[in-house]
Amino acid sequence: MRPKFLCDLKIAYCVVMFNCIALVGCNTTKITSLTVQNKLDFPRKEVVSIPYKNLLNVLDKQTYKSLHIKVNNTRNYQETQWVDYDNDGIPEEFLFQAEVPANGISYYTLIIDSSVVEPQSNVRTFSRFVPERTDDYTWENDKVAFRTYGPQGQKGALEGNPGSTLSSGIDLWLKRTKESIINKWYSENLRKPGYYHIDHGEGYDPYHVGKSRGTGGLGVWENGILYVSQNYTEYNRIAVGPLRTVFELRYAPWSPYNINETKRITLDLGSNFSKFDVKLSAENTVPNYTIGLTLHENKGDFKLNKKNGWFRHWEKIDDSYVGEGIVLDVNDIDSAFVQRGKDKDQNHILIVTKPQNTLSYYAGFAWVKSGQISNVEDWESLLEKQSKIIETPLEISIQNKFYD
């Protein structure tokens, strides 16, 4: 039999040298290593997702809540999040934020330990239904905030009530703080109507949507007419947490084609872009699905980059500049052009896509006063990077190693 002090020494050595997560007897150490590879020529800091089913071997019948991740050979645990899309008590995804150098690999270790306390940050994602402002739905992260409008807002607008909005367009809230602002701005707006239309040092809402598509609203383009839905009719908040918020919006059948539309919108920490995954079905054959980006009063500058799959607008709002944009897989693009109308809400960049049952795209923005960009070239650089990120996602590899 091996002397006890040698056994203890071997265990200590494994912990220090290999970040071991499990000991089998005294002779075998199991380590689960995870690598994240970036094949692009710029550094990336992104939320990455691991399917729960891919972690079952790692968990080895332990509860998923005991799983943690840290940077290799350090005690730097990452903040993580589990997402349960179907609300059945079993998550489908494990999330953490990876930081990977250009053309490089970052190394992590997965740990099974229910006693680990992960770091908690006040900088996080958030979304919610807002009954105190009719029935907005609003979402945000550390960089951007968005909102859209619900059935009571539609009802009020059709009845001519001031302050109500009839639109399925996407509104932008310009923020210059990493902290969450949704609850604060709505609360202050109840006390002092119009509060969030004034910049009190954290940002404000000067962006006009009206009946336009805003940044990323959907439609069908045919014979010079853009058919669009009205306000969402139902919402479902799926996840809210430090790294990702996910929710769905459903719409009443719209257009002459009786289109049924459900948008699943995802916003990750650190991203300027909301991801739209849209499920679509129609009673009649649809010629296309078209993504819109408002040009407001045609006073800004725009660019259509069909080759790389991004489309941008650059405009002055009050005393600063805002860049808005759409990014999508180039294979989904049929055509893109500028729509001009007598009404400012009919001025758009329109990206026409081939009709299909699912459509995915990214819509987002950056405000100069946020400090994230300084000029239109910076905004184009963000769009170009997002296009490359879509084409070349981070690659994750999990490997169990056993040491005697």
Decide if pLDDT at 173 tops 60: yes
pLDDT band for position 283 (cuts 50, 70, 90): very high
Inter-CA distances, 309 with 41, 83, 145, 304, 389, Å: 19, 29, 23, 9, 12
pTM, rounded to two decimals = 0.91
- The per-residue pLDDT for 61 is 87
pLDDT band for position 162 (cuts 50, 70, 90): confident
Return mean pLDDT, the chain. 92
Q: pLDDT (tens digit, 9 = 90+) per residue, 20-30?
A: 333 333 444 46
pLDDT band for position 402 (cuts 50, 70, 90): low
Tell how strand 171-175 and strand 145-148 pair up: antiparallel
Decide if pLDDT at 17 tops 90: no
Torsion of CA 181, 186, 190, 192, to 10 degrees: 50
Percent share of the chain, pLDDT over 70? 92
Q: What share of the chain is helix, strand, coil (3-state, %, to 5)?
A: 20, 45, 40
Q: pLDDT (tens digit, 9 = 90+) per residue, 203-241?
A: 999 999 999 999 999 999 999 999 999 999 999 999 999
Mean pLDDT in residue range 322-350 = 96
Q: pLDDT (tens digit, 9 = 90+) per residue, 100-133?
A: 999 999 999 999 999 999 999 999 999 999 999 9
Decide if pLDDT at 74 tops 80: yes
- The per-residue pLDDT for 12 is 31
CA nearest to 289, candidates 213, 211, 380, 389:
213
Q: Are both 4-120+395-403 and 126-373 of the same fold?
A: no
- The per-residue pLDDT for 16 is 32
Q: pLDDT (tens digit, 9 = 90+) per residue, 352-375?
A: 999 999 999 999 999 999 999 999
Phi, psi of 191 (to 5 degrees): -75, -40
Mean pLDDT in residue range 61-88 = 94
Of 302 and 165, more confident: 302
Decide if pLDDT at 60 tops 90: no
Please give the helix or strand (H or E) that residue 189 lies within, else none.
Answer: helix 182-191
Q: What is the CATH number of domain 4-120+395-403?
A: 2.60.40.1180
Percent share of the chain, pLDDT over 90? 86
Specify whether the backbone of 224 is left (phi greater than 0), alpha (psi in -120 to 50) or beta. left
Sheet holding 289-294, edge to edge: 225-227, 215-222, 289-294, 348-353, 333-339
Q: Domain extents for the chain?
A: 4-120+395-403, 126-373
Q: What is the CATH number of domain 126-373?
A: 2.70.98
- The per-residue pLDDT for 217 is 98
Measure the CA–CA gap between 361 and 126, rounded to whole angstroms: 20
Measure the CA–CA gap between 255 and 355, rounded to whole angstroms: 14
